[in-house]
């Protein structure tokens, strides 16, 4: 309970809180410190022990405030005191501050308190002080540093403590790097490691973590392990995705093989392979060979995903059904367009604008744009018509 004065005059306590007990640890001053002279002496000892400590400046500021209030509040009884916590902070510091404040109020039963703090740390004890005496003013003393800088260092210190003491974080910040360093040391000792391999491993790990690919892989493994628990339509969608991935890998393999065959057919010399200008000149032909052979497989893989999603969204009556139709039409158009582009790139000479291959390529592009426009307009119209049948239900898993 807040202390009450013994007479009608205001009894104002100017209170300084040193939560981490710098006063006791650095200056060997026992708390609580009561009175102007005692506080002035304590501040001088702390300033001599550590000139950069902000608590010394806070006590000096409190003494200055005490002198000013003595002159401006002559009808009030004013006292100054400093209480300290514990270097470990936390509950121990708060209990010690509460006990010392209770001792001060027994000797000086104040009914008002002016709380003087050096920043965010000591401000944490405001509820403790307010539970015993009414706080009428809080003075924040900031010396040669901004509050944001102080709070930044405070947060950094807390995170570092969590990283090195909390078992939930030590596994990540200490355990995993420790294993990685130990494995590298072992590989070096056995002569099985080299710098490029280590950098490549670290780079792959950072890429996986940075782009969230590790979570994608983890979710895929978890979903695959729960395959038997999935609904039939969800299983069909997963199998189609796996089949599409397999077909896409085949497309990459066949396209790469075709590009290498085309490169061998050109029979370049070793000097030409090192010449950037030559590589740039033959790159369109190699790209054309890759596209011409792989685009069919790539389109099949895309259509597998599109058709499986189309059936899935139709089954659950989801509005994405209409967008999937658009994606399917766009995929077919891109297949026809890229197929023609691959043939153009493979040609030995630059074709004329009147060449049938060029005309067919342009017609494919123009008719594809019109087809897409009609498809988008038609699907939007149908989506509005069947909006009640295709709502946004919960996805089936």
**pLDDT tens per residue across span 369-394:** 999 999 999 988 888 888 887 776 55
Region 317-346: mean pLDDT is 88
Give the residue, 120 or 72, on which the prediction is more confident: 72
On the question of pLDDT at 204 being above 80, the answer is: yes
Region 31-52: mean pLDDT is 90
Region 103-117: mean pLDDT is 90
pLDDT of residue 142: 66
pLDDT-based confidence at residue 332 (cuts at 50, 70, 90) = very high
pLDDT of residue 262: 87
pLDDT-based confidence at residue 228 (cuts at 50, 70, 90) = low
pLDDT of residue 128: 87
pLDDT of residue 151: 65
pLDDT-based confidence at residue 146 (cuts at 50, 70, 90) = very low
Region 67-94: mean pLDDT is 88
pLDDT-based confidence at residue 275 (cuts at 50, 70, 90) = confident
What Cα–Cα distance (Å) separates residue 216 from each residue in 208, 209, 210, 237, 368? 9, 10, 12, 17, 34
On the question of pLDDT at 241 being above 50, the answer is: yes
Region 189-202: mean pLDDT is 76
pLDDT-based confidence at residue 397 (cuts at 50, 70, 90) = low
Q: What percent of the chain has pLDDT over 70?
A: 89
Question: Which among 16, 15, 39 is positioned nearest to 29, based on CA atoms?
Answer: 39
Q: Which of 135-139, 155-159, 336-340, 355-359 has the lowest mean pLDDT?
A: 155-159
On the question of pLDDT at 145 being above 60, the answer is: no
Give the residue, 301 or 123, on which the prediction is more confident: 301
pLDDT-based confidence at residue 266 (cuts at 50, 70, 90) = confident
On the question of pLDDT at 150 being above 60, the answer is: no
pLDDT of residue 33: 92
On the question of pLDDT at 29 being above 60, the answer is: yes
Which among 11-15, 264-268, 390-394 has the top mean pLDDT? 11-15
pLDDT of residue 149: 58
pLDDT of residue 8: 64
The pTM for the full model equals 0.46
pLDDT of residue 2: 45
pLDDT-based confidence at residue 194 (cuts at 50, 70, 90) = confident
The region, left, alpha or beta by phi > 0 then psi within -120 to 50, assigned to residue 267 is left
pLDDT of residue 187: 79
pLDDT of residue 36: 92
pLDDT of residue 227: 65
pLDDT-based confidence at residue 4 (cuts at 50, 70, 90) = very low
């Amino acid at each position: 309970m807040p202390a009450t004065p013994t007479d009608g005059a205001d009894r104002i306590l100017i209170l300084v809180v040193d939560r981490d007990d710098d006063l006791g640890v650095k200056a060997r001053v026992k708390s609580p410190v009561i009175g102007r002279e005692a506080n002035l002496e304590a501040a001088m000892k702390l300033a001599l022990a550590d000139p950069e400590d902000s608590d010394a400046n806070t006590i000096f500021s409190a003494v200055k405030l005490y002198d000013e209030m003595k002159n401006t509040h002559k009808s009030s009884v004013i006292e100054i005191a400093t209480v300290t916590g514990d270097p470990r902070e936390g509950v121990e510091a708060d209990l010690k501050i509460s006990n010392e404040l209770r001792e001060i109020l027994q000797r000086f039963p104040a009914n008002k308190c002016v709380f003087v703090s050096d920043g965010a740390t000591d401000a944490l004890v405001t509820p403790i002080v307010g539970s015993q005496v009414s706080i009428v003013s809080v003075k924040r003393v900031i010396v040669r540093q901004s509050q944001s800088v102080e709070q930044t260092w405070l947060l950094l210190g807390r995170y570092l403590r969590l990283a090195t003491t909390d078992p939930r974080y030590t596994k990540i910040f200490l355990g995993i790097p420790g294993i990685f360093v130990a494995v590298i040391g072992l590989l070096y000792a056995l002569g099985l490691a080299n710098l490029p391999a280590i950098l490549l491993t670290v780079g792959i790990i950072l890429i996986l973590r940075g782009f969230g690919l590790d979570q994608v892989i983890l979710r895929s493994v978890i979903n695959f392990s729960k395959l038997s628990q999935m609904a039939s339509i969800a299983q069909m969608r997963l199998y189609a995705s796996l089949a599409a991935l397999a077909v896409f890998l085949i497309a990459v393999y066949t396209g790469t093989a075709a590009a290498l065959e085309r490169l061998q057919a050109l029979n370049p010399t070793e000097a030409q392979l090192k010449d950037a200008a030559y590589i740039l000149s033959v790159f369109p032909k190699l790209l054309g060979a890759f596209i011409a052979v792989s685009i069919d497989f790539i389109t099949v893989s895309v259509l597998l995903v599109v058709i499986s999603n189309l059936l899935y969204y139709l089954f659950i009556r989801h509005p994405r059904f209409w967008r999937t139709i658009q994606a399917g039409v766009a995929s077919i158009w891109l297949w026809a367009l890229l197929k023609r582009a691959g043939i153009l790139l493979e040609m030995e000479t630059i074709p004329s604008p009147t060449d049938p291959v060029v005309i067919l390529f342009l017609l494919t592009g123009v008719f594809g744009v019109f087809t897409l426009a009609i498809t988008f307009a038609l699907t939007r119209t149908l989506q509005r018509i069947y909006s009640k049948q295709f709502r946004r239900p919960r996805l089936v898993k």
